[in-house]
Amino acid sequence: MSGWSNIRSGVAGQRDTLVEALKKPEEMQAQLLRQIIDRNRDCEFGKRYGFHSIRTIEDYQRRVPLHDYNDFRADIDRMMAGEKKVLVADDVRLFETTGGSTGGSKFLPFTDAALKAIRRAVLPWLDDLVMSRPGICDGQAYWAISPATRQQSRTTGGIPIGITNDAAYFGTDLAQSIDHTLAVPASVASIQSFREWQLETLCHLLGCRELSFVSVWSPTFFLQLLDAILDNAELIAKKLAPNRAAELREILSEKPIQWQHLWPMLNTISCWSSASSRRYADEIAERFPGTSIQGKGLLATEGVVTVPLADACEAVLTIDSAFYEFEAESGEIFVPWELETGQTYNVLLTTEAGLYRYRLGDRVLVAGWYEASPCLEFIGRDGGGSDLCGEKLTEEFVELALSDIPGVGFLVPLAKPRPAYLLMLDEAIVNADQGQTAARIADDKLMDNPQYRYARELGQLPPVEPYRIANPLGLYNSICIQSGQRLGDIKPAALASATWGERFGKAMAL
């Protein structure tokens, strides 16, 4: 197909460029940090921390402290209002939103330099992909990058919130070629009604027998689309060409359904496949036994950390996309070439978009090395948080969301059979009707997190479900004790850990 042919030629050599950079991580990281410091020395943040006198990585680490999002919030609010040269010297082109803050939403600035940094990561991945999985170039693709059904909006200073076309992440040179490969037109993402968006998406996907590549974030997103086919099969069939409609009905009548028959050319599905996403990626693999499932690597809204390469043991550090540091459990800080195989670390980012020594909140395991740079496996969120399908709920945010609801014990994430949250309520305080009301209030407040709201709108998460029991905190304490904690060390939590949900289920079965 001409679109894929142009993509191949457009990304040719990008993989080799990254591989060369991975051979010299110390040189590449020092060079990139120098570039970020020099570009931003005259912005307010650069003056605040004396960028003009920073010469080395060690100078930078001594001068600039570690930061969480809340440390940047006031400056970002000013940038959203239109102030310039606050965290970066360059103009801010747009803001993106994500979850994971105490206020629910993070607003993250993007500059032209930041978008180029993303391309330095994703173009080598795409180059590697078309070389290692050439079958994806035989058909059409489904890309789901930005949130579907998102309304376009602007900050108080008139700066766009959200990128208008996902292909723009790959640069204008490739955007048109990618558009030519799309099984689902980019315009479908602008449909405001979730129901209409879902049906239109499915009609395009099922109308495209030549689907060869799927790229989504959460595997639950794709599983939800597959389940929706069953719920809307006849409605969809009526909108397809007669031959394809007959084929759809025949495939769905099979017991069990042979999902791969829907798209016999489907070569590769790219999605999260580690940590809490692993079980759902495995389910996709079971439904499509002849299709390769490729993990995403760690691509956060704040910046890219890793991308997969076909011949690497795990996703490789995108050494020329950001300046990376890694915090051990001891609090000691390491740079990439100092990491140890088998050890886990928290990721710190310094980016082209004005995040400096930023605690990303993601933990990684050093799985091995590629050339002279580490291969990293994402193993989960750091601290008290839950991320079943990309929602990034933090302990602090959930605590605020539940603070005014009487009789609440805590929120429990459940990973199976499908991601869900249970609101534990004290039955001595809350009756059944009050429990339903409490769950609705909690669900509404959790919607302040854009990723949670998105997962709810897409059906990846059901509404919060109330669960009334006697003495929920007593149950919490007993499970913590069974896990090896001393009673005096147990801290009440508004949000149980992701693994705690499984232990809770076992305890309730006793």
User: Is a pLDDT exceeding 90 seen at residue 382?
Assistant: no
For every residue of 266-320, DSSP letters joined together read --EEEE--SGGGHHHHHHHHHH-TTSEEEE---B-SS-B-EE--TTSSSPEE-TT
Average pLDDT over residues 392-407: 80
For every residue of 109-132, DSSP letters joined together read EE-HHHHHHHHHHHHHHHHHHHHH
Average pLDDT over residues 145-157: 77
Band (pLDDT 50/70/90 cuts) for residue 152 is confident
User: Is a pLDDT exceeding 70 seen at residue 148?
Assistant: no
User: Which of these ranges, 5-14, 52-61, 372-381, has the smallest mean pLDDT?
Assistant: 372-381
Tokens describing residue 128: 């590697």
Pairing of strands 358-370, 344-350: antiparallel
User: Among the ranges 170-179, 302-311, 374-383, which has the highest mean pLDDT value?
Assistant: 302-311
User: Is a pLDDT exceeding 50 seen at residue 104?
Assistant: yes
Task: Give the integer Cα–Cα distance in Å for 219 and 309.
Answer: 20
Tell me phi and psi for residue 465, to 5 degrees. Answer: -105, 130
User: Is a pLDDT exceeding 80 seen at residue 479?
Assistant: no
User: Is a pLDDT exceeding 90 seen at residue 246?
Assistant: yes
User: Which of these ranges, 36-50, 160-174, 264-278, 366-380, has the smallest mean pLDDT?
Assistant: 160-174
User: Is a pLDDT exceeding 70 seen at residue 12?
Assistant: yes
Q: What is the pLDDT of residue 397?
A: 82
Pairing of strands 211-215, 268-271: parallel
Rounded to two decimals, what is the model's pTM? 0.83
User: Is a pLDDT exceeding 60 seen at residue 359?
Assistant: yes
User: Is a pLDDT exceeding 70 seen at residue 172?
Assistant: yes
Please give the share of the chain, as a percent, with pLDDT higher than 70: 89
User: Which of these ranges, 270-274, 359-363, 385-389, has the smallest mean pLDDT?
Assistant: 385-389
Q: What is the pLDDT of residue 443?
A: 95
Task: Give the integer Cα–Cα distance in Å for 315 and 309.
Answer: 6
Average confidence score pLDDT of the chain: 89
Query: pLDDT of 19-51, one tens digit each?
Result: 999 999 999 999 999 999 999 999 999 999 999
Band (pLDDT 50/70/90 cuts) for residue 483 is low
For every residue of 370-396, DSSP letters joined together read ETTEEEEEEEEESSSEE-SSS--EEHH
Tell me phi and psi for residue 226, to 5 degrees. Answer: -65, -45
Domains of the chain by start residue, with CATH: 385-509 (3.30.300)
Average pLDDT over residues 392-413: 80
Q: What is the pLDDT of residue 465?
A: 93
User: Is a pLDDT exceeding 70 seen at residue 167?
Assistant: no
Q: What is the pLDDT of residue 168?
A: 67
| Of residues 451 and 505, more confidently modeled | 451
Q: What is the pLDDT of residue 473?
A: 64
| Of residues 135 and 404, more confidently modeled | 135
Average pLDDT over residues 313-331: 97
Task: Give the integer Cα–Cα distance in Å for 276 and 219.
Answer: 10
User: Is a pLDDT exceeding 50 seen at residue 488?
Assistant: no
In sign, the C-alpha dihedral spanning 91, 96, 97, 101 is negative
Please give the share of the chain, as a percent, with pLDDT higher than 90: 64
Band (pLDDT 50/70/90 cuts) for residue 161 is very high
